[in-house]
């Protein structure tokens, strides 16, 4: 439990708490970005440097922008209208369920001993080479399935946009 780990955790938890309690939706999104940064920091702490950089690249560079677009297209320009108070009525129920789920996942991952079973570890030069090697040897089928899925999503987006054009 070093200083760095505590700082990172504090930043992450602060971002998460602000993301669910703030009133303005865009402020919630900024808090979520802070949360993503904290998670990236945790990845760097665990020596998973590729994952940390990918977290910044994908989550902050793309997902946050996507959420901003969604907010902008569904709300008015300020993002403050609509919805009651931010936490809702029985917030203690949500907290309880979340705590129970988190405890369940912690216990399950600790009980299963996944860390000892997997021989893949981070080396001194980082984990990129290992990830690359595994993706094309042991895990090539999930890679190809992901590629097909992404291609399908891309084609679907193009088809939707094309249909809208033709309908006009």
Partner 1 sequence: MDAIYQLIHAYCPTMPDLLALVLAILLPIAIVMGVFLTVFALLTWVERKALGRIQNRRGPNRVGPVGLFQPIADGLKLLTKEDIVPDAADKVVHFLAPVLVVVPAFLVLAVVPVARGFVPVDLNIGVLFALAVSTASVLALFMAGWASHNKFSLLGAMRGVAQVVSYEVPMVLAAVVVLMAAGSLSSVTIVEAQRGLGGWFVCKPWGFVGFVIFQLCAMAEVARTPFDLPEAESEIVAGYHTEYSGFKFALFQMGEYVAAITMGGITVTMFLGGYLGPGSDLPKIGWLISACWFFAKFGIIVVINIWARGTWPRVRVDQLLGFAWKLLLPLSLVNIVAMAVWHFSPSKLVGWVASAVLLAVAIVALVRLNAGAAFEKRSYRFTS
Binding site for partner 1 (CB under 8 A): 24, 26-27, 30, 33, 49-50, 53-54, 56-57, 60-62, 64-65, 68, 72, 77-78, 125-126, 128
Q: C-beta of 59: minimal distance to partner 1 in Å?
A: 10
Q: Which is nearer to partner 1, 21 or 49 (CB)?
A: 49
Q: C-beta of 26: minimal distance to partner 1 in Å?
A: 6
Q: C-beta of 27: minimal distance to partner 1 in Å?
A: 6
Q: Which is nearer to partner 1, 70 or 114 (CB)?
A: 70
Q: Which is nearer to partner 1, 110 or 133 (CB)?
A: 133
Q: Which is nearer to partner 1, 69 or 91 (CB)?
A: 69
Q: Are 55 and 40 in contact (CB under 8 A)?
A: yes
Q: C-beta of 69: minimal distance to partner 1 in Å?
A: 8
Q: Are 23 and 80 in contact (CB under 8 A)?
A: yes
Q: Are 56 and 37 in contact (CB under 8 A)?
A: yes
Quote the DSSP letter at residue 88: -
- Within the chain, residue ranges assigned H as helices are 3-21, 25-45, 49-54, 64-74, 91-112, 114-117, 128-136, 140-167
């Amino acid at each position: 439990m070093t200083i760095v780990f505590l700082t990172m955790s504090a930043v992450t938890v602060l971002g998460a708490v602000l993301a669910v309690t703030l009133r303005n939706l865009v402020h919630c999104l900024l808090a979520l970005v802070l949360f993503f940064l904290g998670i990236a920091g945790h990845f760097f702490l665990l020596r998973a440097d590729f994952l940390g950089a990918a977290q910044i690249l994908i989550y902050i560079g793309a997902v946050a922008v996507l959420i901003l677009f969604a907010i902008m297209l569904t709300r008015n320009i300020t993002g403050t209208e609509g919805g009651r108070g931010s936490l809702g009525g029985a917030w203690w129920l949500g907290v309880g369920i979340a705590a129970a789920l988190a405890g369940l996942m912690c216990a399950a991952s600790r009980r299963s001993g996944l860390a000892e079973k997997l021989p893949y570890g981070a080396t001194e030069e980082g984990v990129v080479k290992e990830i690359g090697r595994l993706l094309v040897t042991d895990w090539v089928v999930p890679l190809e399935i992901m590629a097909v899925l992404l291609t399908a999503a891309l084609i679907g987006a193009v088809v939707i946009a094309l249909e809208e054009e033709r309908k006009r």
